[in-house]
Amino acid sequence: MDIKKYASVLWDVPKNTAYLDEKFVIKRALSFGGIFLIKDLINSLGIVTVRSVFNTMKPTEMPQRRYNFFKQISLI
């Protein structure tokens, strides 16, 4: 996974980090990323992977509107 693509949601991670857990990056992108970042994530990792990580997240890990959107519209 190319971490440079997701630098906008990894602001507190040192730039010289060699490896990040895939689930951590997905959670950050779902919580703070824009629609194009999430679309790129789905295209590169697959909808099944992103959906499984979303289903493990608590509703309080992202804004309520965003959580409801993903739950009802795109990541059912």
Domain boundaries, the chain: 3-74
Q: Angle at CA 5, nearest 5°, toward 19 and 51?
A: 80
What's residue 70's pLDDT?
85
* Residue 54 pLDDT: 92
CA dist list (Å): 22 to 8, 10, 69, 76: 16, 12, 22, 20
* Helix and strand numbers, DSSP H then E, in the chain: 4, 0
Residue 76 has pLDDT above 70, yes or no: no
Question: What mean pLDDT, rounded, does the chain reach?
Answer: 84
Cβ atoms of residues 6 and 37 within 8 Å: yes
For residue 25, what pLDDT band results from cuts at 50, 70 and 90? confident
DSSP category for residue 11: T
Query: Mean pLDDT throughout 70-76?
Result: 73
